[in-house]
Copies of this chain bind each other. A is one copy, B any other.
């Protein structure tokens, strides 16, 4: 047993206690009354990292909540640099009554740590912190240069991350990026996420009469905005579940036969997945499997629609207006602006002159696909499997993580999405939990990752960015 592994095993309980101490700070970034707590959370982390003798640790202010930066730079000349990204802010906790134990009083039950932020993302930040600690306390030289950027605004869309990356481009220069903020495909199944979908989001407003009209006195005289919007929404898909917006698929990079085979080989239990949704059956674009559709094909969904009377019982009106929120999930090489434009043009084309259409675009994000032919992915697989004792699989995520694209674009370097959560960990819901085996093996995975990257010998892989 190497000293690193032994240290991590021997300190398993303490590592949980120390994470719990951090989780007690309610760093809810979306709640302006919690600004002092988010700052306290940054300071708590900086203090903690400081005890592992970094070359540099700083709190970086932003226009919003502060980020923490730390660096360990005594690796031998020519050693590669790894930038670890995480965030120290957390989701809101409503509805509070649904929590079994209070969100900011972390508890261990059933080999899980329960509390807000335990897995998203404080636990995953501490996985790296504890891996670094293990190197320091055992006197093991860090084989690579390590940098950590832990922002405080991920849960509100990272509005200042772009500026941070630009303002601190030198400090953040790296060879590789590791983001630990995602979930594994299944229990104890080491998984590297190699693809994220992007997002284009828009809202359509359809207006007819100036005010709600009596549906008796006026019914049959004017176009009903709710029915017209319904007709327009219905015209966004064809009968095969394909998006019917002209040009929608123009820039989609098709799945290769190899990628389709790899997806097919994953241990995906469709019946179990369907059960988790509660829907009567799966549904989607003809010609693709469920995993292909949710990970690697673009979609168009309506996230909300409203118009007219929504109370109890019967009110007889022709509503003055109706609106719908439309979210498209994008895959490479679709661009959010282009998709918003195409959907808007389509809606404009099909709206009839009995109503007025207005479209508002919300912020979106570009899709991300890892350059999996780069050797870093094999290196990461090796480290992950060494800790978990199982082969590491490539997965994708249907959701969007806009900051991944921000970081990947800003650094221009391969990005590892090496997450230690579980799909059912309630990361944005009440009763968030962290599997303590994942936490423990995650710390080992991180330690082994630094080790394996240090062993990379080829010059092209190791040159400093």
Binding site for B on A (CB under 8 A): 197, 199, 201, 203, 208-211, 213-224, 226-227, 229-231, 233-237, 273-274, 277-285, 290, 293-294, 297, 299, 301-310, 313-320, 322, 324-325, 327, 329, 352-356, 362-363, 397-400, 428
Contacts and interface: CB of A to CB of B under 8 A. Distances in A.
Given A304-B309, A304-B310, A279 B223 contact: yes
A302 B224 contact: yes
Chain copies in the assembled complex: 2
Contacts of A230: 229-231, 233-234, 302, 305, 324
A217 B301 contact: no
A429 to B, nearest CB: 9
Nearest to A362: B314
15 contacts: A197-B216, A197-B219, A210-B279, A216-B400, A220-B299, A221-B273, A221-B283, A227-B301, A230-B230, A230-B305, A303-B309, A304-B317, A305-B306, A305-B322, A313-B362
Most B C-beta atoms less than 10 A away, residue of A214, A226, A284: A226
Most B C-beta atoms less than 10 A away, residue of A208, A283, A317, A399: A283
B398 A217 contact: yes
A397 B216 CA distance: 8
Contacts of A220: 284-285, 290, 293-294, 297, 299, 329, 398
Contacts of A324: 226, 230
Given A216-B197, A219-B294, A316-B327, A280 B226 contact: no
A223 B283 CA distance: 5
B294 A221 contact: yes
Contact of A279 (B222, B278, B329): B222
A227 B233 contact: yes
B215 A327 contact: yes
A301 B399 contact: no
Contacts of A273: 221
Contacts of A235: 234
Contacts of A227: 233-234, 236-237, 301-302
Given A303-B317, A322-B305, A222 B398 contact: no
Nearest to A226: B302
Given A227-B301, A234-B231, A236-B227, A399 B294 contact: no
A460 B363 CA distance: 76
A306 to B, nearest CB: 4
A343 to B, nearest CB: 13
A215 to B, nearest CB: 5
Given A221-B273, A223-B279, 13 more contacts: A199-B216, A209-B278, A216-B399, A217-B398, A220-B284, A220-B297, A220-B299, A227-B236, A230-B231, A279-B355, A280-B353, A302-B308, A304-B317
